[in-house]
Structure 1
Amino acid sequence: MKNYKLYILAVFAFALSSCGKELDEVNINPNATENAQPDYLLTGAIKNTADAYWSTANTMNSSLLFVQHWSKIQYTEEDRFIFSNSSFTSLWSTGYSQSITAFNKIIELGNAQSNPNYKGVALVLRSWVFLLLTDAYGDIPYSQAGKINDYITPAYDKQKAVYFGLLDDLKTAKNTLDPSGKAIAGDVIYSGNIVRWKKFANSLRLRIALRIADKEAAKAKSVLDEIKADGDLFISDNTDNAQLNYLTSPQQNPVSALFETRDDYRISKTIVDKLFALNDPRLPVYASKTQTATPEEYIGVPNGLTNSEASILGFAKTSKPGAYFLLPQAPAVIFSYSELLFDRAEAAARGFTTENAADLYQQAIKASLKQYNISDAAAATYAAQASVQYDAANYKKSIGEQKWIALFGQGLEAWAERRRLDYPQLTASVNTVLNGQIPVRFIYPGTEQSLNGISYKNAVASQGADLLTTKLWFDAF
């Protein structure tokens, strides 16, 4: 009987090999195009990536808690840093299997169709995805990533090499993008405005230059010198903000979608207290008033409560995130003008440029307030306060604290900047499980150990233990 089964399998295998061509021809969907269209791919890849960037796993249940923008009012395990190696699969799986794969295909199609603007846009967005991945995990597959025909188990590149590679990729993208070239479609960020894509590319170059500044100051400065020598532009006002503007259900912002069915989250007491202390006009934008009237009107929830402690505070007397962020149409901001100005201020403070750091810092604060339609007069009054003034002797504190406020809701980026600048100085709850530490990286998905084990082990040997508390290369202090 065993030999008979083997014989049947052998005959079946031969039959499959001999009729492979026929099967290929039969297994064609007559209702689908055989050739992928770059415009449809671009729209889908942007949406998938933005959804992951603003999703529950990567923001609400992790990075927004780590930076104490948000907190949890029930099911507080994540706010106490209780995670497993399946907790951080979303960014990895979306980044590699969907985003990078799609952007590589768009690059290929742009070349095939002699439309360099598709290639340039896809290269910018692919660089952003790789940046999200390395900022979160550290060493990652980069040079061999997305090349499934050549590398089934891609090696992990060291974080320094990833940042340097992305700087080269973004320079290539900037030089490839041609405002007078062929038009592109499917662009739900800039509607095909190639000038704005070039600005975004250069702004990402500045972001990465500052990521490496504490370790590779000369390289960081050379990037800025190169941008200046080429006469290139950065994002130059709020209309240049790189963001996906969502629509109504089912194409709404992931935050809005979550709050339709759940009520797990509140604004953190840490940032509410800071906004109160600074008389910050963004408080009613960032936080909702308590459902049951309270003297303070806005009450944040301390991070790291136990479930019983959170239950005592209750839902009605604590503040949800602001209505602006709960709207279905709330934009997923990728890079804002305010961030760009803070970056320029820091570059000046480090001596990388000859610009005026204090002036750029003031402009950055005002740009953030204007982003939320706060009046110029209110912004000027806020920025003039002694408590908001720029301290040249401790630029990391001034920029770090105000940038943390301006990046509210952008969990992954706010977390990266807080680790890099070390401000604001946050305190972990006594209920957390990391001995007073706050997570400084995502742990690798457990599937990497089973599917890409050798590369995973090499990365851990190089970078350090696969723990939430293992500092990444860029996190120098």
Structure 2
Amino acid sequence: MKTKFFIMMLLVISTAFLSCTDDLVELNINPNEPEIAPTANIFTSATKEFIDFSRDGFNEGRLTLPWMQYWSQTAYADEDRFLYRETTAESIYTNTYLTMRDFKAILDLNTNEETKETAALYGDNDNQIAASRIMLSYMFYELTNFFGNVPYYSYGSDNETFQAGQLEAGNFTPVFAAQQDIYTDILKELRESADMINEDEIVFTNGDNIFNGDALKWKKFANSLILRVATTIKGVDTEAYETAFDTAITSGVMTSNDDNASQEYDTIDVSASPLWTAYLTREDFAVAAPFVELLKGERGNFNPDPRLFQMAVPIAASINEVKAGYVADLDTLDYGDYLGVPYAFRNTNFLNRNTYSYPSSNVIKPDYREVFMEYAEVEFLISERNGFAQANYENGVTASMEKWGVPEEDISTFVANLPLANQANVLNQKYIALYMQAHQAYTEYRRTGFPNTLVQIDETVALPQQQIDGLAPDNRVETYVFEAGPVDPSVSDIPFRLRYPQILQNLNGANRDAAAANLSNGDLIISKLFWDVN
């Protein structure tokens, strides 16, 4: 990633140099290629590249999926115990800015008087601008929630600390904008984006692998993201939360699973979903025991949840069967056929592979649609806004179950027997609905302390008898203790943030140091972000 960053900088510098030499410019013109890249092509590439790195086997598979105990690793448990890799932080940080440049290019092409007419061949100018602003808001919301203060780019603000888009102007050491300012601007960007969308015009004529150019769905996505972002700062700015939230509701949010925002992938390996790619030659992940136990009704206070049959496979199913498209026989399956892999268990690699459940073929498939946001979350957010209202709570559970393909009769039975809505029940169900959206679940846990069903540090965990029997005598144990690390400094909970990538000490050291100084405990995983008042 360091090499990639330097290459990007060298390309910018070399382009500036070449522009001063007419002869060299002429030599670099390819008459067979368009002078202006189609904005639809840029958008297609940018959304895919973002999800490719954000949700891959390292940046989600070995980070937030295990931290939120949806998955656990089958060969070793270092990241599960919070010993995440430096390359993960570097990838999340660096690739966000590389992708930012693509969306900024779309904004520039649609606003420059010399190029906007050509850009309009690929969709309405305002709608292209709005969709790019929405994606930038999504990316920076995710980035700042990992690190805190970061260099930030805004389309519609003249805040002098928003310097991430100034690379072309020669600013290679942007200041780190305050996270509070970033949040304020993201809410403004999303509000303005939703308001500028022309619902009767196409967004992109092609290449929109999220909504296929549907402007109304982009507007609903922007407003729904406002609910998410505003709720994140609920504990520190109630007025801003309520104002932004209520305005978004009035403007129009997601109202069914047809409005879900997700990235489309292909059925061939070279353009497949990132977690399918992670399983091509390895089988490093299985569904974590705490999550399986929650869905089996053995952890928490919910009845057995039929989503288990859609999210995971029985222990008898191999990963090769999953990759071949395993379909469970719902008439013969039983909750007892499912076991999760012990979370952060150091001897996991000694367990028999047929003693834990892999993710289902609904997830591990090349054309799995990676979700940005879905209707179920909207209902849970509205439930919280309304004092954890019962109706929205039930709507959220129903929407999640429908999205996962649970039979209608099973949905009715489960929802009819839900415990009454309160903070714990609503947020624990929201956690289940956020399965495979682990970055957001990580933010929710830090904001609220829920779900309250996770295995805690220093907790003693008992292994199921089947897994005990499957261990060789020399490795056989009946219990183990979930121990973090060793991380420095030691932690008593999930890390509150990621440390800034080490490359910044050389590339932008002074501004990185200033940002670290604003954190409560410096650039450490125990420094809380400004909205984390839980």
8 Å CA contact 2:19, 2:25 repeated in 1: no
Cα offset, 1:370, TM superposition? 0.2
The answer to whether 1:408 aligns with 2:435 is yes
Instruction: Find the aligned partners of 1:441 and 1:31 in 2 and give their Cα distance.
Output: 47
The answer to whether 1:452 aligns with 2:516 is no
The answer to whether 1:259 aligns with 2:279 is yes
Go from structure 1 to structure 2 and tell me whether the alpha carbon gap of 1:34 and 1:292 turns closer, same or farther (over 3 Å shift).
closer
Task: Look up the equivalent residue of 1:297 and give its one-letter code.
Answer: D
The answer to whether 1:366 aligns with 2:398 is yes
Aligned to 2:244: 223
8 Å CA contact 1:400, 1:422 repeated in 2: no
Instruction: Find the aligned partners of 1:166 and 1:18 in 2 and give their Cα distance.
Output: 35
Aligned to 1:321: 359
Cα offset, 1:86, TM superposition? 3.0
Counterpart pick for 2:527 among 454, 470, 476:
470
The answer to whether 1:303 aligns with 2:322 is no
Go from structure 1 to structure 2 and tell me whether the alpha carbon gap of 1:315 and 1:31 turns closer, same or farther (over 3 Å shift).
farther
| Deviation >6 Å, runs of 4+ | 16-19, 292-295
Matches within 5 A, 1:287-436: 287-291=312-316, 296-306=336-346, 309-349=347-387, 357-385=389-417, 388-392=418-422, 395=423, 397-425=424-452, 426=454, 427-428=456-457, 429-433=482-486, 434-436=490-492
Aligned to 2:135: 125
- 1:262-297, Cα deviation, whole Å (9 max, x unpaired): 111111000011111131001111211113799932
Cα offset, 1:183, TM superposition? 5.0
Go from structure 1 to structure 2 and tell me whether the alpha carbon gap of 1:211 and 1:183 turns closer, same or farther (over 3 Å shift).
closer
Which SS does the other structure have where 1:373 is aligned?
A: coil
Go from structure 1 to structure 2 and tell me whether the alpha carbon gap of 1:331 and 1:17 turns closer, same or farther (over 3 Å shift).
closer
Matches within 5 A, 1:236-275: 236-249=255-268, 250-275=270-295
Instruction: Find the aligned partners of 1:457 and 1:239 in 2 and give their Cα distance.
Output: 45
- Which range moves more in the overlay, 61-70 or 134-143? 134-143
> CA-atom RMSD, angstroms?
2.0
Aligned to 2:230: 209
8 Å CA contact 2:59, 2:88 repeated in 1: no
Aligned to 1:176: 196
Instruction: Find the aligned partners of 1:314 and 1:224 in 2 and give their Cα distance.
Output: 49
Matches within 5 A, 1:82-231: 82-97=83-98, 99-112=99-112, 113=116, 115-142=125-152, 143-150=162-169, 151-181=171-201, 183-185=203-205, 186-228=207-249, 231=250
Task: Look up the equivalent residue of 2:351 and give its one-letter code.
Answer: L
Structure number with the higher helix fraction is 1
- Structure 2 gaps of 5+ residues are 1-16, 118-124, 153-161, 298-302, 319-333, 458-481
Instruction: Find the aligned partners of 2:85 and 2:289 in 1 and give their Cα distance.
Output: 26
Which SS does the other structure have where 1:446 is aligned?
A: coil
Cα offset, 1:100, TM superposition? 1.0
Instruction: Find the aligned partners of 1:456 and 1:54 in 2 and give their Cα distance.
Output: 26
Which SS does the other structure have where 1:71 is aligned?
A: strand
Instruction: Find the aligned partners of 1:183 and 1:17 in 2 and give their Cα distance.
Output: 35
- 1:417-444, Cα deviation, whole Å (9 max, x unpaired): 1111211123132253344322221221
- TM-score where L is the length of structure 2: 0.80
**Alignment size in residue pairs:** 446
Which SS does the other structure have where 1:222 is aligned?
A: helix
Aligned to 1:13: none
8 Å CA contact 1:73, 1:314 repeated in 2: no
Go from structure 1 to structure 2 and tell me whether the alpha carbon gap of 1:292 and 1:209 turns closer, same or farther (over 3 Å shift).
closer
8 Å CA contact 2:101, 2:165 repeated in 1: yes
Cα offset, 1:81, TM superposition? 1.6
Which SS does the other structure have where 1:56 is aligned?
A: coil
Cα offset, 1:476, TM superposition? 0.9
- Which range moves more in the overlay, 24-33 or 456-465? 24-33
8 Å CA contact 1:42, 1:106 repeated in 2: yes
Go from structure 1 to structure 2 and tell me whether the alpha carbon gap of 1:440 and 1:390 turns closer, same or farther (over 3 Å shift).
farther
Identity value in percent: 29
Task: Look up the equivalent residue of 1:53 and give its one-letter code.
Answer: S
Cα offset, 1:18, TM superposition? 12
Aligned to 1:61: 62
Cα offset, 1:176, TM superposition? 1.5
- Structure 1 gaps of 5+ residues are 1-15, 351-356
8 Å CA contact 2:227, 2:245 repeated in 1: yes
Aligned to 2:468: none
Cα offset, 1:155, TM superposition? 0.8
Go from structure 1 to structure 2 and tell me whether the alpha carbon gap of 1:87 and 1:183 turns closer, same or farther (over 3 Å shift).
closer
Go from structure 1 to structure 2 and tell me whether the alpha carbon gap of 1:18 and 1:420 turns closer, same or farther (over 3 Å shift).
closer
- 1:80-138, Cα deviation, whole Å (9 max, x unpaired): 222343331222122111x2111111111222326111101111111101111011111
